[in-house]
Each structure stands twice: as C-alpha cells, then as structure tokens.
Amino acid sequence: MHLSEARHAFVTGGASGLGLGIADALAARGVAVTIADINDEALAQVVASRGNSFRGVVLDTRDREGWQRAKAEAETALGPVDILISNAGIAPNGKGFAEMDPESFDRIIAINLTGIYNGIWAFAGDMARRGKGHIVCTSSQAGLVTTVTGVGAYSAAKFGVTAIGEALRAELAPQGVGVSLLFPGYVQTNLAANTQRIGGDIRQYSNFTMTSDVTPADVGEMVAEAIEQDAPYIITHKDIWPGVERRMTAIKAACDYRLEH
Ligand SMILES: NC(=O)c1ccc[n+]([C@@H]2O[C@H](COP(=O)([O-])OP(=O)(O)OC[C@H]3O[C@@H](n4cnc5c(N)ncnc54)[C@H](O)[C@@H]3O)[C@@H](O)[C@H]2O)c1
C-alpha cells in the first residue's frame, strides 16, 4: 500500500519505543495516527508533544471489550483504519521454563501473542471487506531463533506471532490486504521499565550483551518502506541471519537424514 493512500494508522504500544518510532514515520508521511497504549501518562505526554498529528487511546491489548471501544473511538474521530501496527509487548522474564512462575508465562503469552491476535480480530475483517489495508505484526529475532537462555516464554509468543503473520498474509492477499512481520534485533527502548511498570517480572540476562546502533526512528523508516513494498519480512539488524541459518541447517539435516533412511 502506498502511504499516500493511507489515511489512518492504529499503533499499539505507540507511546514508546518501536511503536512510537513507527507512528512518527507514518505521521511524517501524512497518515493520521491513533496510538494505543496501556500507559496513560506516557500516552498523554506523547500526544501533547506531537501536536495534532496523533490521537491517543488507552488500551490494554489483552482486553477485547477495550479493543472494541478503542476501535470505535478511533474510527469515529479519524475514519476507517487502513494500517494496523500490532506491536505492544513486554520483555522476556530472563527465566528458564523450569524456574518461571506460570503467571509469568501466561502474562507473556497474553500480551505478546494473544494481544497481537486481538488487534487482528478487531481490524482484519473490515480491511478484507474494504479490499484495502496493511497489517504489521511485531515479532522479534526471538521469533526466528531460540538461542538466548531465559527467553523461552518470550520466544514461544514471538514464534506464534511469526506463524500468525505468515498465515494471515496468505489469507488476506486475495482481498488486497498486505501483512508484514517485523523482526527486531536489540533496540534501546523502555521495554524493561515498561514491563516492570505493569507488573511483569524480568531478570537480567547473563549471556547477552545488549548494544545496538539501530534506533526506534530507524525501525519506523524500515516499517514505512516495507508497507509500501508489501514486504513479508522486516529484518532490522544485519547480524540476524547466522542464527537463523544454523536453525535452518539443522532442520535441513534432519530432512536429509529422513530422505536417506
Ligand atoms: N526493543 C527491542 O530490543 C525489541 C526486540 C525485539 C522485539 N521487540 C518488540 O517490540 C515491541 C515494542 O517494544 P519496545 O522495545 O518498543 O518497548 P517499549 O516498552 O518502549 O514500548 C512498548 C509499549 O507497549 C506498551 N504496552 C505494554 N503492554 C501493553 C498492553 N498490554 N497493552 C497496551 N500497551 C502495552 C508499553 O506501555 C509501551 O509503551 C514489543 O512487542 C517487543 O517485544 C523489541
């Protein structure tokens, strides 16, 4: 979808980090933006700082009634949503499966996987009926590989998002609706603090050095470009492939073994 044809984007997790970077990139191209976020204070600050180009709506993406309210409010103000950025998420808890509380697993799945689905549930049908639209789902490098310890529950959610995005792309292509999957590597954002703010547990990773020169604004530009190209996958970092290749090589070896035995 060329962004000159898009009038209204709805961005979850839009009050911070990657969501805000994406919202800024879309607004810079003349798209009216609704940012939806659970953090009402950050939402108010962002809307105040952006003047008239953003509207804010408080939403917990786990809350399906809340989705209906937020959708009605946003579309009454700015018209039908052409672009959904289903992005809100929380950080990995830093724990292995054997040591994490079930509540922590459930929270990660509820926000990082079901919350992404809830946005699709709210908007995809309308886009299909109108024969127009684009959906971006935020997965992660951890939605392609599972090599870092303490990220298992997060990876389970993000692999689920990867599956949703790929399936949704095939389902909606005949209706003229595009779908892209965003796979960020590490980007400096407020993810850890925002996770703790809503009661999520988080333990520092011991085997992972988190540095990056990719910014949320860079990711916003990549997403805007990908929407225009209807790109299936958006890779933010140059060093993601070796881990993916190792996984694919191991899967291929197992396939080759079956061919031979
Ligand atoms: N930053 C990274 O390195 C990185 C890497 C890979 C994937 N991601 C993914 O990118 C997405 C955005 O994360 P970020 O790094 O920009 O973090 P961030 O904390 O800066 O932004 C996330 C926003 O989502 C909001 N949010 C959290 N739970 C919510 C809920 N239930 N309902 C509505 N809003 C909610 C937060 O309040 C926050 O404003 C997440 O899905 C995250 O998993 C981030």
Mean pLDDT by 10 residues, the chain (261 residues): 96 98 98 98 96 92 98 98 98 94 97 98 98 98 90 97 98 98 96 92 62 93 98 96 96 98 96
Calculate how far, in angstroms, residue 194's C-alpha sits from the geometric centre of ligand 1: 8
Please give the helix or strand (H or E) that residue 126 lies within, else none.
helix 115-130
Taking the C-alpha atoms of residue 203 and residue 178, their distance in angstroms, rounded to an integer, is 37
CB of 26 closer than 8 Å to CB of 49: no
Ligand 1 pocket, residue 14 CB under 6 Å: no
Ligand 1 pocket, residue 59 CB under 6 Å: yes
Ligand 1 pocket, residue 66 CB under 6 Å: no
CB of 1 closer than 8 Å to CB of 133: yes
CB of 169 closer than 8 Å to CB of 178: yes
Ligand 1 pocket, residue 15 CB under 6 Å: yes
DSSP 178: E
Residue 257 is among the residues annotated as catalytic for this protein: no
Q: What domains sit in the chain, N to C, each tagged with a CATH number?
A: 3-260 (3.40.50.720)
CB of 146 closer than 8 Å to CB of 152: yes
Please give the helix or strand (H or E) that residue 71 lies within, else none.
helix 64-78
| pLDDT score recorded for residue 34 | 98
Calculate how far, in angstroms, residue 252's C-alpha sits from the geometric centre of ligand 1: 33
* Ramachandran assignment for 78, one of left (phi > 0), alpha (psi -120 to 50 degrees), beta (any other): alpha
| pLDDT score recorded for residue 207 | 44
Dig out the tokens for 112 from the structure: 């990082």
Q: Which residues pair with 136 in a beta bridge?
A: 85, 180
Taking the C-alpha atoms of residue 152 and residue 117, their distance in angstroms, rounded to an integer, is 20
Give backbone dihedrals phi and psi of 206, rounded to 5 degrees, phi first: -95, -20
Instruction: Specify the ligand 1 atom closest to the Cα of 187.
Output: 3
Taking the C-alpha atoms of residue 253 and residue 224, their distance in angstroms, rounded to an integer, is 37
Dig out the tokens for 44 from the structure: 């108010």
Ligand 1 pocket, residue 16 CB under 6 Å: yes
Dig out the tokens for 13 from the structure: 């997790």
**Count of H helices and E strands in the chain?**
9, 7
Give backbone dihedrals phi and psi of 233, rounded to 5 degrees, phi first: -130, 140
| pLDDT score recorded for residue 147 | 75
- The residue to mutate among 10, 37, 46, having the most atoms of ligand 1 within 8 angstroms of its beta carbon, is 37
Q: Which residues contact 192 (CB under 8 A, 6 or more apart)?
A: 91, 202
| Alpha helices (H) along the chain | 17-28, 40-49, 64-78, 102-109, 115-130, 152-172, 191-197, 216-229, 241-260
Calculate how far, in angstroms, residue 90's C-alpha sits from the geometric centre of ligand 1: 5
